[in-house]
Amino acid sequence: MAYRRSASRTRNNLSLVTFVKCGHHKIIFPGDMETEGWRRLLQNPEFVHELNGVNLFVASHHGRENGYCEEVLDLCPNIRGVHHFRQEERASNAGDSGPLSPICEWLSLRPGYPQSSDYAPRLIDAIPAAAVRNRCGLPRLGRGVNRAFDFYEYAGVIVPGAVFTLGLLWLLPDSRALFSKEGVTFGELGLFIIIAYAAGQFIQGIGNWIEWLWWKPWGGYPSRRVLAGHLISADQHERVIEALRRDAKVRTDVTTCALPECLAIVREVYSVVAAAGKAGRVDIFNGNYGLSRGLAASLLVLLLAAIVLIKGLYVIGALVALLFLALQRMHRFGTHYALELFIQYVLVSAKPAEQ
């Protein structure tokens, strides 16, 4: 939830004050709000109600005195940490033992906090810093609340879902007003990512059918074609088959196996490569394959929507061109994935014999 006061004599008091809830934590981001702006916001009962429950307070205006408002802090009885961005400035001007900013001094004098002015700033500054150390750049507040998306989820699910969502909004005339909206709140961005993630899952379901239809005329999936001796040289194929025969986990004749058995072998091969720490490039190719497949599915659905909505030939033609580009990229990365996977498998399997 966000609040802004429009009537003010200074630009800083036009700052957007944002509340972010995550698990058991509630954080306030006040921007550069100054004392006058704080007191105007306190005239809003809804804003006063939101202050209750705040336990992490990002100091306004970099912790400067003109951003301090004791009345606001008194309405936040649950504050357990304050963060401001003047550590470097304080260290260069006054050193660690220099005077505290007003908000730090206020917190250091509260019951339950150390009375030492030398210890308090380090305690206060350290609390939020430890809370934001994770790959997403978001607070890791409690187990199971947040988790980092991996590369495949970003590339293969969220991006195609976002493309589909934005494309659908653009095709629907009543939704185009959203593109002219000035700015976006943190909450709206989070909601869009959730929608994109959900849409991306459905889009990839369509993508599974697209890839099945696409690879069928080419003789099957690239990984299966590699096992059959295609896409690689005769010498490479011989080494792949030899490595698989030495593998105790593989008991199927890889040259004649059915598709389900072939896919199971590919998963076994990947597990060996990943356990050896050699799956970096394989994962990159797989993520880009998922991205291209998802984009192809998104563009196909948007193309059908454009035809139903009777859009112009330019729009339909552009979607057709983009669809074929996505399919071409899917074909390329699918082939690269299979080649890299089995090459790394041969290299990993050969190491014990060489020793």
Q: Is 183 helix (H, G, I), strand (E, B) or coil?
A: coil
Percent of the chain past pLDDT 70, that is, above it, reads 71
- Which ranges of 27-119 does DSSP label H, i.e. alpha helix? 35-41, 45-51, 70-74, 87-93, 102-108
Tens digits of residue pLDDT in 257-301? 777 778 888 888 899 899 889 999 999 999 999 999 999 999 999
Q: Which of 60-64, 143-147, 178-182, 277-281 has the highest mean pLDDT?
A: 277-281
Give the pLDDT confidence of 86-100 residue by residue, as tens digits. 544 444 444 444 455
Instruction: Please give the pLDDT value at position 87.
Output: 47
Q: Is the pTM of this model over 0.85?
A: no
CA distances from 29 to 166, 182, 186, 312 (A): 28, 20, 11, 45
* Cβ-based neighbours of 337, under 8 Å, separated by 6 or more: 222, 223, 282, 285, 286, 289
Token readout for 264 is 């199971």
In Å, the largest CA–CA distance within the chain is 80
Give the pLDDT confidence score for residue 218 in this predicted structure: 92
Report CA Rg, the chain.
Answer: 28
pLDDT tens digits along 102-154: 666 666 555 555 443 333 333 344 343 334 333 333 334 344 444 567 888 89
Taking the C-alpha atoms of residue 246 and residue 250, their distance in angstroms, rounded to an integer, is 8
pLDDT at 329 over 90: yes
Q: Which residues contact 68 (CB under 8 A, 6 or more apart)?
A: 35, 59, 60, 101, 102, 103, 106
Q: How many angstroms separate the Cα of 15 from the Cα of each of 8, 11, 78, 128, 340?
A: 10, 8, 24, 21, 51
Residue 185 contacts residue 229 (beta carbons within 8 Å)? no
- State how beta strands 25-29 and 17-22 pair: antiparallel
Q: Across all residues in the chain, what is the average pLDDT?
A: 78
